[in-house]
Amino acid sequence: MNSEQNSGFESLQPPSSGLPPQMSPPVKEKKRTGWRIFWNIILVLSVLTNIVLFLVLIGIAAIFAAGRMGVFTEEVIQTGPKTVKIAVIAVEGIIDGEKAQDVYQQLKSATEDKHIKGLIIRINSPGGMISASDQIYNEIRKYRIKTGKPVVAFMEGLAASGGYYASVACDKIIAEPTTITGSIGVIVGYLVFQQLLEEKLGIMPVISKSGLKKDWPSSFHPPTEEELQYIKDKLITPAYERFVEVVAEGRKSLTENDVRRLADGSIYGSREALDEKLIDNIGYLDDAIELTKSMAGVKDAEVVEYHKPFSLFGLLDSRAPNLLKLKKSTLYELTMPEVMYLWSLN
């Protein structure tokens, strides 16, 4: 009986695996498929991010380079054949050294572009520095002589003093009906700080000089009649004579005496300027374009206007003025007389 029971129990036992009882078959771990997919996505995103950052750095470098190299972009303002172009160069705001440099770079671009058949100098300026106005005038004349291509001045709201000075370098001048022009003349201005320094701040300037006229004009005392005459003889008269010479040379319809009669600083509206032969016609930009095409001997052309691209270099330039720092050179600039071809309401 016992033997039968034992044999029955033995038959219910699982078959032996042939391994020692303390060792079990290894259990295989499940593959972590979800984590692999996650890290692959992270890797792909990282690569794409690096590519985007690289392209951004290239773009920033290009913007910096554009700002430093004087590169200008072209905006099409009238469609036409790509191989026949009229370029518009803007002279806007106060004319200073930077403005003159911009105009020089644009004229250089126009000279190098063989598709350019003529130029329009679009002027909206009250004038500015004497040397900068003369530089623009000279560069326009050099372009005309070198290329033989027509250049038309188009006056918008204001083209006075240095703005008019630049205009007479062109072959023809067209002004809008509401344009203010003229103001042929010179103005000199500087500040006198004597009362502020001595009476308000208790500061007494000390000046030591090698000669009587070394500090004329001075910001540390009111000018005498002799000093005012000195300023006129040395600064105003030579600049005025240059202005008269330039206008007489550029406006063949005017004699030197005509120019002197008009060059008393007066401003002129378009109609009066036309009557006085300071300009050639009254019209709008489309009229200036048509005149330029006619002078260039073309029937149709693409009209483009040069624009200076936004430049991070201009914002980050270490030479930019710092309003929080008052340098010695700043004080010098504040006290230095400004001799300008400028229409001023002050």
Average pLDDT over residues 217-231: 89
Give the CA distances from residue 283 to residues 172, 275, 308, in Å, rounded to whole numbers and listed in that order: 12, 15, 27
Assigned domain for 287 exists: yes
207 in any annotated domain:
no
The pTM of the full predicted model, rounded to 2 decimals, is 0.75
Residue 25 lies in a domain: no
In a domain, 51, yes or no: no
Q: Which residues pair with 123 in a beta bridge?
A: 91, 155
* Residue 174 near residue 152, CB atoms below 8 Å: yes
- Residue 243 pLDDT > 70: yes
Domain coverage including residue 110: 71-186+262-317+327-342
Judge contact between 204 and 310, C-beta under 8 A.
no
Indicate if the pLDDT at residue 91 is higher than 70.
Answer: yes
- Is 238 a member of any domain? no
Say if strands 187-189 and 338-342 run parallel, antiparallel, or are unpaired.
antiparallel
Q: What tens digit of pLDDT does each residue of 153-209 get? A: 999 999 999 999 999 999 999 999 999 999 999 999 888 888 887 777 888 888 888
Name the residues annotated as catalytic: 161, 214
pLDDT in the model for residue 5: 47
In a domain, 146, yes or no: yes
Give the C-alpha separation, 59 to 53, whole Å: 10
Residue 93: give its domain's CATH number.
3.90.226.10
Selection from 148, 73, 86 nearest residue 117 by Cα: 86
Check residues 332 and 204 and name the one with the higher pLDDT: 204
- How many domains is the chain built from? 1
Residue 21 within any structural domain of the chain: no
pLDDT, position 333: 55
Instruction: Using alpha carbons, list the distances in angstroms from residue 201 to 45, 195, 325.
Output: 64, 9, 20
3-state DSSP of the chain: CHHHHHHHHHHHCCCCCCCCCCCCCCCCCCCCHHHHHHHHHHHHHHHHHHHHHHHHHHHHHHHHHHHHHCCCEEEEEECCCCCCEEEEEEEECCECHHHHHHHHHHHHHHHHCCCEEEEEEEEEECEEEHHHHHHHHHHHHHHHHHHCCCEEEEEEEEEECHHHHHHCCCCEEEECCCCEEECCCCEEECCCCHHHHHHHCCCCCCCCCCCCCCCCCCCCCCCCHHHHHHHHHHHHHHHHHHHHHHHHHHCCCCCHHHHHHHCCCCEEEHHHHHHCCCCCEECCHHHHHHHHHHHHCCCCCEEEEEECCCCHHHHHCCCCCCCCCCCHHHHHHHHCCEEEEECCCC
Give the pLDDT confidence score for residue 280 in this predicted structure.
Answer: 98
Asked if residue 70 has pLDDT above 80, the reply is no
